[in-house]
Structure 1
C-alpha cells in the first residue's frame, strides 16, 4: 500500500485538530470539564514536545549549513554580493507586504462603520481587557516596557558572549549566523591540509542534522494535532464575531501577499514557476502554520528548499537562517494593519505622512523580531505608543485574544517569503533548480 504523502498527513491532522477542538469546546459547555481539560493538556504536552524537538536541532543545523556552504567554496569571493542581494530582496518584499496591508486596511476600514469609529469594537476591547487572563496581561505589560531604541540592540546581539545561549534564547539567531560566517571565512584562510578534514566534519554534521530533521518530521502530524487542538479549544467565537472584519482584512492581505505578490516576485525576479515552488514548500508551510514559529520551522524549511526546490547548501545555509531572523513579511504586514485598525477604532485620524511613518516603523521593527509566537506584540505597542494612540494596552490585550490564528497564518507567509528569497538568489547565482 502506497504511503500517504506527508503534506496530506499534516492537512488531515489540521482538520482533525480543528474539528476535535470545536467538539471539545461544545462538550465542555455541556459539563464534561474534567475529561476535556485532561485531554487538552495531553495534546498541549505532545505539541510542545514536537516544538522542542524542532528547536533542539536549530543551532547545530544553522551553524553547519552556513559554515559548510561558505567554506565549501574554498574562498569568500562573491560572498559580499550574496549578502547584499539577500538583504535587498528581504527589504523589498517586506515593503511590498506592508503596502499590501496598508491598501486593505484603508479600503475596508475594519475599525469603522459608515465612516464612524465602531463603538461595538471599543466596548469589546474594554470587555476583553477586563476578562483577560493574567498571562496575557503580563505579556502586554512586558511588551509595553520596550522602547523603539531597544531594537538598536540587534547590533549587540550580533556579537553575543555565548552564541549557543543567544541562539537558544527566544529564537534569536543573529549572533549564531554572524559567528558562523566569521568561522567559515577563517576556515578558508587555513592551509588545505588543515581545512579539508574540518570541512569534511562540518559537512557530515550538516547531513546528520538533515537526517534528524527527517526523523522528527515523521511525527509531524501528531505534533501538529497537539499544537492546534488547544488553540481551537481555547479561542471562543465571541471576540471573533466582534472583530470579524478586522480578522478578514488581515487574512485577505496575507493571502494577497502569499498568492499574488510573492508569485509575481518569483516569476519576474527569478523566472521561477511559483506554483511548483509552493508545491515544494507544502510541508514547511503546514509546519509553520501549526507551530506559529519561523525558527522552529527552519529545519524543515531548509530541507524543503534544498531537496524539493534544488537550491544549494551555500545559498540555503545563508539566506534561510538570516531570513528567519530579519525577514518577516507577514509580521510587518500585520503590524501595519493592526495599528491602523486600532487608530480607526479609537477615532484617531492618520494622514499620509503619519501612515508613511507607520510603514517605516513597521519595516524596521519587523527586523530582528524573534521567530516565536506573538513576538510582534512588542512592535505593535511601540508603534501605537509612538503614534500617540490612546488605550494601546487595552486594544492590544483584545487583539492578543485572537492573535494565535493570525500568528499561524502570518508565520506561513514569513516562511514562504524566506524560501522565495533562497530560490531567487540561487537563480541569480546561476544555479539550476528543480522549480
Structure 2
C-alpha cells in the first residue's frame, strides 16, 4: 500500500529520464481497458483455468492455485502426499528448464542492452540508475520500519538494535541471501537477549515465508514499468496488484534473484495490465536492488522476532 501511494508521487517529483523510453522499443502499444469494479470482481473467478492460463490472467490463476493448495492439505494423507509428490517433481523439472534458459540468458540480455544502447546512448545508464534508486527507496522504507518495529513492539532501543544487527546485515549485503544470513541473525538475536526458544522458531519460519520487502519492491518494479509505458493504474488495478504481490511473496521459494525477479513480478504486472517485456532488461541490474531486499528482510526478521519474544514474555 505504501508503494502504491508513494511511488507515483516520487516519480512526479523525480520523473523518469527520457532516455528510459529506449527500454520500450519492442513493447506493443494499444489502448488500455480499465475494468469496472463489478467486472474486476467477476474476473477473480475463472470459469476455465486452462483458458485463463492461455490468456495470462494471473490474478484468477493465483487465487485458484492458492485455494487448490489449501484443499490439498484437507485431503486424506495418502492422496495429499501423491499430489505433493507430483507437484514437487513438476517444480523441479521447471527449475531445470529455467536453469537452461538462464545459461543462455546473458547473451539475450547483452543483445537487449545493445539495442537500448543504440537507441538511448549513455542516457540508458542514467535511466537504470534512476530505476535502481527509486525501487531501492521502497525497500528502504521497510528497513526503517524494521527499526520502528524493534523499538515500539520489541522494546529495544534503535541504537542497541542497530549495533546488534550489524554482523547479520554484513552477511546479508555480501551474500544477498536471507537463508545464508540465518546463523548471523540467530547470533544477533542472542546479542539482543531474545530467548533461544523464540528465535530458533521464529527466524527460520520468517526466512521461509516472510519476505517483508517483496510486496513493496515488486510492486515498485511493476508501477515503475507502468509509468514508463504510460499505463494508468486505477485504484482497482492497484488493489489487484497488492493482492497478487502478497500471495506471491508468501508462496515464492528462495531462488536466485535472476530467477525470482521475473517469476515474482511478472504475475503482478500482468494482473495490473502492465507490459512485462522490460523485465528482461531490468533483471540485469537486479543485483543492486536485491542488496536492499536482503538487508531489509534480515533486519525485519529480527525485529519481528523481538516483538514476538516480548509478547510471549
Which category describes the TM-score, using the shorter chain as reference length?
A: 0.5 to 0.7
Answering whether residue 303 of structure 2 is matched by residue 404 of structure 1, we say no
Taking a change above 3 Å as real, the CA distance of residues 297 and 110 of structure 1, as seen in their structure-2 partners, is: farther
Aligned to 1:384: 269
What's the counterpart of residue 106 of structure 1?
8
Structure 2 unaligned segments of length 5 or more: list them: 27-55, 75-79, 93-109
Distance 2:135 2:242 in 1: 16
Q: Structure 1-normalised TM-score?
A: 0.49
How has the CA–CA distance of structure 1 residues 334 and 266 changed in structure 2, closer, same or farther, with 3 Å as cutoff?
same
Partner of 1:357: 240
Cα deviation code 1:240-283 (max 9, x no counterpart): 42222222112222223212x22222222232212211211111
Specify the alignment match of 1:122 in structure 2.
21
Other-structure match for 1:344: 227
- Within 5 Å, give how 1:32-431 maps onto structure 2: 99-109=1-11, 113=15, 120-126=19-25, 148=62, 149-150=64-65, 239-259=124-144, 261-305=145-189, 307-374=190-257, 375-390=260-275, 392=276, 394-430=277-313
Structure 1 unaligned spans of 5+: 1-98, 128-143, 171-233, 431-435
Superposition TM-score, scaled by structure 2 size: 0.67
Report deviation, 1:323: 0.6
Structure 1 position 145, deviation (Å): 12
Moved more, 148-157 or 330-339: 148-157
Give the root-mean-square deviation of aligned CA atoms. Answer: 3.5
Cα distance 1:293–1:333, how it changes in 2: closer, same or farther (>3 A)? same
Structure 2 contact 7–220 (Cα < 8 Å) conserved: yes
Q: How many residues are treated as equivalent by the alignment?
A: 243
Shift of 1:362: 1.2
Cα shift at 1:385: 1.5
Cα 1:290/1:239, change in 2 over 3 Å:
farther
Greater C-alpha radius of gyration: 1
Q: Is the 8 A contact 2:218 2:265 kept in 1?
A: yes
Q: Partner residue of 1:88? A: none
Q: Point out the more displaced range, 99-108 or 380-389.
A: 99-108
User: For the structure 1 residues 119 and 153, does the alpha-carbon distance in structure 2 shift closer, same or farther, using more than 3 Å as the test?
Assistant: farther
Q: What whole-Å deviation, never above 9, does each CA across 1:312-339 have from its counterpart, x for those lacking one?
A: 2211122111111111111221111011
Following the alignment from structure 1 to structure 2, what is the Cα–Cα distance between the partners of residues 153 and 357? 20
- Residue 300 (structure 1) shift: 2.0
- Go from structure 1 to structure 2 and tell me whether the alpha carbon gap of 1:160 and 1:241 turns closer, same or farther (over 3 Å shift): farther
Q: Contact 2:219 / 2:241 at 8 angstroms: preserved in 1?
A: yes
- 2:3–2:138 Cα contact (<8 Å) kept: yes
